[in-house]
Every structure is written in C-alpha cells, then in structure tokens.
Amino acid sequence: MIKDQIQAIITAAVNKISTRSTVHIQSPDNPQFGDYTTNIAMRLAKELKKNPLQMAEEIAKQIPKDEIIEKVEVVKPGFINFWLTKETLSKNLIQILSNINNYGKSETTRGKKIIVEYSSPNIAKPFTIGHLRSTIIGDAIANLLEAAGWTVFRDNHLGDWGTQFGKQIYAIKTWGNIGKIEKMQQPVKELVRLYVKFHKEAEKNPEIEEQGKIWFKKLEDGNEEARILWQKCIDWSWKEFNEIYDKLQVTFTENDGKGYGESFFEDKMDFIIKELQNKKLLTKSKGAQIIAFPRDKYPPLMILKDDGATLYSTRDLATDKFRLTNSHYSADVLIINEVGAEQSLYFQQLFEAEKMLGWVKDNQRVHVKHGMYRFKDKKMSTRKGNVIWLEEVLEEAKKRAESLSKQHQTDATVSQSYHDNANIIGIGALKWNDLKRSANMDILFDWDEILNMQGNAGPYMQYTYVRCRSVISKSNFSPKNKLPRIDYQAEELELMRMLEKYPSIVESAAVNMAPNLLCNYLFTLAQQYNLFYQKHPILKADQDTKNFRLALTTAVAQVIKNGLYLLGIQTVEKM
C-alpha cells in the first residue's frame, strides 16, 4: 500500500531528529493540501516544547523527494503535506489492472480472528424489513474485515428457543393443519396467523395460556411430539429464510451455514449459572437472580426469573462462553454483534458482565448498532397491527427496477438485459440506500431516493460501472505492464489520485466497521469519472491518449466492482 510507504518514509525522517514516535498520516479532505498529510510535528513540538512550524520544517528537510514523493509542503500551524509523483500514480494504475479483484485487499490483520453476528431472525416469526439492516450491514462489515486480512466467522444467532414455542406448538396442534403447512409456499405466514390466534383465544380463556407453558415444559423435557413440531417450525422457517438470503446474496459460515441458534446452548446454561454463583456475581432480587454492577454503573441484569426460567441474557452468556473457549475460535477472538441501537443498554450490561467474569478484555466485545426505518410511503407506515414482510419489499424493489428500465431503454436488447438484471439492480439499490449512511442513523425509506439514477443511489453506481464497461467493450484494449506517457488532464490526475486511495479506504471502513466510508468514496469516484467522461473523448482520442484513458476507465470499473462486492452488491454488465 502506497500509504504505508509514505508512512515509513516520514517515520524515518522523524527518527533522525527525535526519539522514536508513532507517525499517523491521512488523506486531507481538500486535495489542495496534498495526497497525504501528518500532524506529527505538532505532537512532537508539544512534547519537546518547540515551535510546531519549525519542527515541521526540520522534519520536512529530512524527507527525500524521490520516485514516490514529488513535493513536500509545510503549512501553519505545523502540518506537513505530501504530493505523490505522477510515476507513482501511473504504477498504481498498472497494479489495479494486474491485481484485478484483489486490489484493495491487505494482510495487515492476518491471523487475527473475529466473529461477526448479524441478521438473527426469530424462528416462526416474520422476516421483516426490520431485519434487513442487521443482515446487510453485518454482511458488509464481514466482507470488509476479510478484505483487511481478518479470519472472519459469520454467525446467525437465531431465536429458536423460548416460551413462545410452547404457544406455537399448542396453536399448531389445536388450529393448524400440518399437511397443508408443509405444502405452503410461505409457511411462516401461517405460523404467525396461528400464533396471533393463540393470544386472541387466550384473552378469552386463560387456560390456553397455561397450555402454552405446559407444552414448552414438554419441549424442554424432550417430549417427542413437542420436539418434532418445534423442528418443523425451524424447517418451515428456513424454507423462507434461504430464499431471502439467496436473493440478498448473504451467507454464514458457522454450524453448516445456518449459525448457532439459541437452542444450541440449551444444555450449556447450567454451567453459566454455576460459574456466576462460584464467582459470587449473582444476587437475589424479588425471587429473581440478577447481576448487580459495581457503583450502579448499569441497571441490574436479570439472569434467572423468579420461577428459575432462563432469559436471553443467560443464553447470550452461554453463547459467548462457547465462542471464547472453543478451539475453533480463540480466547482473544473479537466478537461483534450487529443489532439495533435500541438494545444498546442491554449490550453494555452483557459486556460488563463478561468482563466481571474475567472472560474478555476491553474492546474485545463490540456492538455495532443501527437505527430504525421510517417510511415516507403512508401505505408502508400505517399498516397498524401488521408487519412489512421483507419478501414483499424485495419483490417491490425488483418491480420498480423493471419499471425504471422502461424509462431508460434504448433498444430491445438493453430492455431485456435490464429486465433480466432487475433483481440485482433493485436489491443493490436497497443495500446502497442503507449502507451509504452511518449505521446508527434512522433511515427514511423513500423509493424515489432508493432508485434514483442521478444522485447518491445504487442505480447511479450501476450506471457508472456499465458506462465504463460499455466504453471498454467498444475497443480492443487489453491491460499492459506499461502505460503510455501523456500530458495528464486535471480530471485524469484526480481519478488517479482517487484510485490510489481505495486500499486505505477499505482499511479505514474495516477498522471503523463503517461501510458508509466506502460508499462515500465510491460515489465520489463515480462522480469524478462521469465528469471526466463528459469532458474528454476516449475512443476518438489519439492512440496513446486513448490507450491511457481506456486503462483509466478499466481501473475505475474494477475499483467500483471491487467496492460494490465488499458492500454485498453485484454488478450488471448492461442496463
């Protein structure tokens, strides 16, 4: 990575005039201040009680101008700015063309292990639009971490255990028809209908609520009929989950690709209770067992109900104990939970409890939180008592993408191609709309913004990629190890500088677990390419200029494709 080379050069310069210091460099927001900048002089000046501007000038004198660095500039109050040589930018272009899909990947964290838990829908419950954010944000974070060199374990912590299954089993036995459910295309909708009926009937007859408890006790005790019906609920749910995950192109690695659900830890919770008791971390409160935090740092965390029943906190502790002691992972494995912001307090309690148990160190547990969807479409926001099924949203995205194709079609071939790729474009648009903003922000769900061809939207990114591929397809260009020397135009240099920053952006997005940083970069790159495309001929330029611009176009297409792939978005070749 060129950034690492620059950092090494500056570190060597600093070490000539001072004790060894950690040098950090970054890309300035304004390109007028160079390709990279550092504030090391100001930090050193404070330590050594020197003038920061003079310190910056001393360091700058030690930096050689070579084939990498073209210019060094010192500016108040003590920043040191650097410009890369055109030769460096040109070599980077060749690197993109040769590395292809691997450009942007690194091995800076090779050997380090990380578990990313995301999606985590509930068995026999709707897979709603509310699950979309965790699913696609978690998937993108896992992709970014892999690109940065981490060994990533992708887990799906399904809600497949709890008292609700006693109610579900009773409802199926009383009002359901197993044979019919087996044949249904969407069996979960029938399970939801039966579950709702259970509660309506229980309001009229409290004895029904008691039956739910009885059947859950049977399930816990291993009753064969209860276990069979419970397993059917899981199988029926996965029939729908698999279809959704296939459409979203989202996968998991753990437990044969299905993730470890809560039921996997059913027989492991007693060990957690014993460890908590042995370490004197459990306190009795109104019959329940709780963890009280020192100095009332957080409200108490309930571990056992007054009737001795476990809670999701108990199951989550059992889950993390398994992760931290299983040789498949390691005791220092980093564990990420991508879950809604409304659970922030709970995860603070959980992480603190794990530290009190001596399981984890600071920063070993991370909660990546996301905001909620709000809806501009009144039909979507006012369905009181109902849920917005994700399957319906994905289908609507496809239909709207098909409609968009008709507005922009130029011939039958393009129209058919757009129709064939509507699913990719529609789902890609949904993902981009989510990932382009900070995860903890609420999102206004607006179809017009999601499928915008002009602004910061998925279709615009697809259109830019297709434009690049279209230009390349009209030539006989093939990447070479050397590019022709030309007088670069301003727009060409800007693109080359942007392309050089891609590996650093991927690294930053991974470190911060912030896919929006990559989206911001890709959108700016697309805008810059489209400006270049409008101002400068490619296929009609003289031979050397044409070959360079085709190489530049190929590199832009490759970086857009690589970046979208990390976001979980497929590209299309035609629109």
Helix (H/G/I), strand (E/B), else coil: 498: helix
Range of the domain at 240: 157-250
Question: Last residue of a domain, which of 84, 112, 146?
Answer: 84
pLDDT of 172 reads 98
Select from 404, 455, 435 the least CA-distant residue to 569.
435
Hunting for tokens 């229980």 — which residue is that?
202
With respect to residue 196, please indicate whether it lies within any of the assigned structural domains. yes
Do both 49 and 168 map to the same domain? Answer: no
Cβ–Cβ < 8 Å for 340, 128? no
Any residues with CB less than 8 A from the CB of 100 and at least 6 apart, and which? 558
DSSP 8-state code for residue 121: P
DSSP 8-state code for residue 485: P
Helix pair 132-147, 422-435: axis angle to 10 deg: 80
pLDDT of 164 reads 93
Cβ–Cβ < 8 Å for 430, 443? no
Do both 404 and 500 map to the same domain? Answer: yes
With respect to residue 560, please indicate whether it lies within any of the assigned structural domains. yes
Do both 71 and 169 map to the same domain? Answer: no
Query: What would the mean pLDDT of 87-92 be, rounded to a whole number?
Result: 94
With respect to residue 376, please indicate whether it lies within any of the assigned structural domains. no
Select from 435, 412, 407, 334 the least CA-distant residue to 112.
334
- Is the pLDDT at 379 greater than 80? The verdict is no
With respect to residue 316, please indicate whether it lies within any of the assigned structural domains. no
Select from 432, 435, 297, 276 the least CA-distant residue to 370.
435
Do both 169 and 66 map to the same domain? Answer: no
Query: What would the mean pLDDT of 395-401 be, rounded to a whole number?
Result: 91
Sign of CA dihedral 468, 474, 475, 480: positive
With respect to residue 559, please indicate whether it lies within any of the assigned structural domains. yes
Question: Last residue of a domain, which of 51, 84, 117?
Answer: 84
Do both 163 and 77 map to the same domain? Answer: no
Helix (H/G/I), strand (E/B), else coil: 418: helix
| Per-residue pLDDT band at 269 (split at 50, 70, 90) | very high
- Is the pLDDT at 531 greater than 90? The verdict is yes
Pairwise CA distance, residues 387 & 492, whole Å: 49
Question: Last residue of a domain, which of 198, 218, 250?
Answer: 250
- DSSP labels for 433-480? HHHTS-TTS-EEE-HHHHT-SSSSSHHHHHHHHHHHHHHHHTS-----
Hunting for tokens 């002691």 — which residue is that?
325
Do both 78 and 163 map to the same domain? Answer: no
Do both 410 and 556 map to the same domain? Answer: yes
Cβ–Cβ < 8 Å for 514, 438? yes
CA 237-571-246 angle, to 5 degrees, is: 10
- Is the pLDDT at 124 greater than 80? The verdict is yes
With respect to residue 329, please indicate whether it lies within any of the assigned structural domains. no
The token pair that represents 220 in the structure block: 């816990």
Pairwise CA distance, residues 427 & 143, whole Å: 17
Do both 77 and 167 map to the same domain? Answer: no
Pairwise CA distance, residues 155 & 159, whole Å: 13
- Which of these ranges, 60-69, 500-509, 536-545, has the smallest mean pLDDT? 60-69
Pairwise CA distance, residues 402 & 157, whole Å: 35
With respect to residue 289, please indicate whether it lies within any of the assigned structural domains. no
Do both 166 and 75 map to the same domain? Answer: no
Q: What is the pLDDT of residues 179-223, one digit of tens each?
A: 999 999 899 999 999 999 999 999 999 999 999 999 999 998 999
Do both 398 and 544 map to the same domain? Answer: yes
With respect to residue 495, please indicate whether it lies within any of the assigned structural domains. yes
| Per-residue pLDDT band at 404 (split at 50, 70, 90) | confident
Q: Please measure the distance between the N-terminal and C-terminal CA atoms of the chain and give it in whole angstroms.
A: 34
Pairwise CA distance, residues 92 & 1, whole Å: 9
* Domain CATH number, residue 15: 3.30.1360.70
The token pair that represents 164 in the structure block: 């609700």
Do both 444 and 552 map to the same domain? Answer: yes
* Domain CATH number, residue 521: 1.10.730.10
pLDDT averaged over every residue in the chain: 92
The token pair that represents 511 in the structure block: 């470190």
Q: 274: buried, middle or exposed (CB in 10 Å: 19+, 13-18, 0-12)? A: exposed
Query: What would the mean pLDDT of 40-62 be, rounded to a whole number?
Result: 91
Q: Taking the model in full, what pTM does it have?
A: 0.93
pLDDT of 1 reads 82
Do both 218 and 69 map to the same domain? Answer: no
Pairwise CA distance, residues 486 & 492, whole Å: 11
How far does Cα 413 stand from its chain's mean position? 35
Q: Which letter, b or e, does each residue of 389-399 get, where b requires 16 or more Cβ atoms within 10 Å of its Cβ?
A: bbbebbeebbe
Total structural domains within the chain = 3
